[in-house]
Chains A and B, each alone.
Chain A
């Protein structure tokens, strides 16, 4: 007998629409306060302007909230969408869901692109997106059954708290003997007790006979989900998905282009990054070799022990086998560790399967904390997922607390006795367990870097100026795990990103720093226009970006613009055209993204953000804060002062050189902002102009009124 109870409290039967050219043409609305369930139509203009995926999320969210809405208000919505291309099994990387909400960390829109089967199953069940408002005080499970054409809400008692067990139980409960038909979205106790809770999206692995997980990590979407009293969101659909399921406009054309890309990846991945074997772990030593792997709260970019966390180790630790987070993907990079035995916490001494780690988790929960033991990283990865915590924010927030501890800004009296120094593996694990329990110093770390800075200042008397420089957040979101000190373009990639410093908008470090492809401000600005736009397009369509530029054609370097991998961009245009019937060229894809991107910037403005002042960076992202950092790379920094700035630094103390360098680099970043704003069609304040919104077709009356009220006149 199960120890849990699911009691049906509301059912909504519906007639499943036929999928037409990648769209279900309706969205699902759930209000957990009133238990209202409804289907809303998707209009032609909605598809034309917002395309799908993140675009639909933003439009639904825009209409759901007011400028005064806060993350934990009932009207804040969690929106999850697929996209018109999502769910195509033949084309690599085509199973993504995009989750969006008002973030508890930033106060404005956050979006997260995640694998697993939920998004495609939701769409094939008849809904391009789900929008969840309201709050339940009882704890509910929402269930979308596309096979039986019903949406149900259950009150739930006795369900496990952690995401691993919960998904396992709910998969078995709803599967009717076919677990591959089920995808579960859930948070966990850490999501409830911190501001950076993630969502776990499951996919069933028939070979290993278990639910596997991918995470919508950034910005606390799991925290909002948990705050709504939603324990899980479950979709059921027939796993016999084919290229026909999306009812593409031109099936033969789709088959042709899908085969080209899929075959190329199968041939070239083994010769290139081996993602089907080692995921993204190859990045660890490469970043370390180029002084780009963050260690010790972004003080440094390399460490002699970093190879302990590299691909050579994970090549041995990952369980071999097919690890595609969507059906038929030939990148198949979602690897995991079998029979791992945690040393701490509720799973101590029990064998578990760990989904991951990927590069970001290795860097965030490893090198950033001064931890170079792969087993500790795996254990942190496991508990973050089980508790519903974003490994990036956990890492970056804990690293900040560790540096504050080492600097004496906080003491054991504040940490509950934890010696929170870099490299303390037991302390790092304990912080994560405390986050899940909502107690101790871990609860405070779980509020994120921005709030920690405020609390440490007000309650512990810590120096706010020091913390402003070393607290690695922008817009309230913790940095993801790349060093940006020597790449002005990547400083822009982080600082100008709409949701905060996450690398999915622009990852320009190698192009800028290693290849020096963009020496001028105008070239950097062009890159900070094109790359965020193209990367945005993947989230509009329900796609993963990895097939685009992580496995590239052998003749790519001889093309006019190798960084853009235009052969693949052309294939994506073919892909979009063949599914939707909307004939599109590469420039059209950029134009689609531009509309949604600018709309999101304006959404930020509406929520009280989205201006030049909000594109600020902590100085550690720009240059060396401490004498230790400067002197560790003194030759590099001295050279910049003498060769670039033509300064005579003879006899100058390090502190003075740091100040000179800072003045120069901060000015460079401001100049970059000017160039990027101009390229994007924004004012000097970083607001889209009226001409820009008019050109992009997002000149809705409410948008125009907002821009005018914000001082935009042309």
Chain B
């Protein structure tokens, strides 16, 4: 099990960030996620695994700077 923005979400071995986002309807057009203390950007979603028991947050990168 992992927590996505504080709520429980089922985890499975080999799950990537891209897989997770496909399973969610609240990720919208999220370009960056944070897994625990680690930031992952969209170009790396397909290749980055989500570890079990992770805390995942969707980072709303909109018009910062």
Q: Is the CB of B62 within 8 A of A286?
A: no
Chain B residues with CB under 8 Å of A311's CB are: 37, 39
Select A286's contact among B6, B61, B63, beta carbons within 8 Å.
B61
A-contact 0/1 string along B33-58, CB 8 Å cutoff? 01001110111100000000000010
Q: Contacts A272-B57, A514-B31 given; indicate if A290 touches B43 (C-beta within 8 A).
A: yes
> Which single residue of chain A is at the shortest CB-CB distance from B43?
A289
Q: Is the CB of A557 within 8 A of B60?
A: yes
The total of interchain contacts (Cβ-Cβ below 8 angstroms) comes to: 71
Give the distance in Å from the alpha carbon of A507 to the alpha carbon of B5 in the complex.
26
A340 at the interface (CB under 8 A from B): no
Chain A interface main SS type:
helix
B65 at the interface (CB under 8 A from A): yes
Q: Is the CB of A289 within 8 A of B60?
A: no
User: Closest approach, in angstroms, between the C-beta of B33 and any C-beta of chain A?
Assistant: 11
Give the distance in Å from the alpha carbon of A514 to the alpha carbon of B29 in the complex.
10
A298 at the interface (CB under 8 A from B): no
Q: Is the CB of A508 within 8 A of B63?
A: yes
B1 at the interface (CB under 8 A from A): no
Q: Is the CB of A511 within 8 A of B65?
A: no
Give the distance in Å from the alpha carbon of A311 to the alpha carbon of B38 in the complex.
9
Q: Is the CB of A507 within 8 A of B41?
A: no
Q: Contacts A271-B6, A271-B57, A272-B57 given; indicate if A514 touches B63 (C-beta within 8 A).
A: no
Q: Contacts A508-B63, A563-B63 given; indicate if A286 touches B41 (C-beta within 8 A).
A: yes
Q: Is the CB of B37 within 8 A of A515?
A: no
Give the distance in Å from the alpha carbon of A482 to the alpha carbon of B64 in the complex.
12
Select A510's contact among B37, B43, B62, beta carbons within 8 Å.
B62
Q: Contacts A282-B39, A514-B31, A557-B28 given; indicate if A507 touches B63 (C-beta within 8 A).
A: yes
Q: Is the CB of A515 within 8 A of B64?
A: no
Number of B interface residues, CB 8 Å?
22
Number of A interface residues, CB 8 Å?
33
User: Closest approach, in angstroms, between the C-beta of B9 and any C-beta of chain A?
Assistant: 14
Chain B residues with CB under 8 Å of A274's CB are: 34
User: Closest approach, in angstroms, between the C-beta of B24 and any C-beta of chain A?
Assistant: 12
Chain B residues with CB under 8 Å of A556's CB are: 60, 62
Chain A residues with CB under 8 Å of B28's CB are: 557
User: Closest approach, in angstroms, between the C-beta of A19 and any C-beta of chain B?
Assistant: 33
User: Closest approach, in angstroms, between the C-beta of A495 and any C-beta of chain B?
Assistant: 16
> Which single residue of chain B is at the shortest CB-CB distance from A509?
B65
Q: Is the CB of A312 within 8 A of B65?
A: no
Q: Is the CB of A315 within 8 A of B32?
A: no
Select B64's contact among A285, A550, A562, beta carbons within 8 Å.
A550
30 pairs of residues in contact across A and B, judged by CB atoms under 8 Å: A272-B57, A272-B60, A273-B64, A282-B39, A285-B39, A286-B39, A286-B41, A286-B59, A286-B61, A289-B42, A289-B44, A290-B31, A310-B39, A311-B39, A312-B37, A482-B65, A503-B65, A507-B65, A509-B65, A510-B31, A510-B62, A510-B64, A514-B31, A514-B61, A515-B29, A531-B63, A549-B62, A549-B63, A556-B62, A557-B29
Which residues of B pack against A, CB within 8 Å?
5-6, 28-29, 31-32, 34, 37-39, 41-44, 57, 59-65
Q: Which 8 A-B pairs have CB atoms at the shortest separation, nearest pair first?
A: A507-B65, A289-B41, A557-B28, A503-B65, A271-B57, A552-B60, A514-B31, A549-B63
Which residues of A pack against B, CB within 8 Å?
271-274, 282-283, 285-286, 289-290, 310-312, 315, 482, 503, 507-511, 514-515, 531, 549-550, 552, 554, 556-557, 562-563, 565
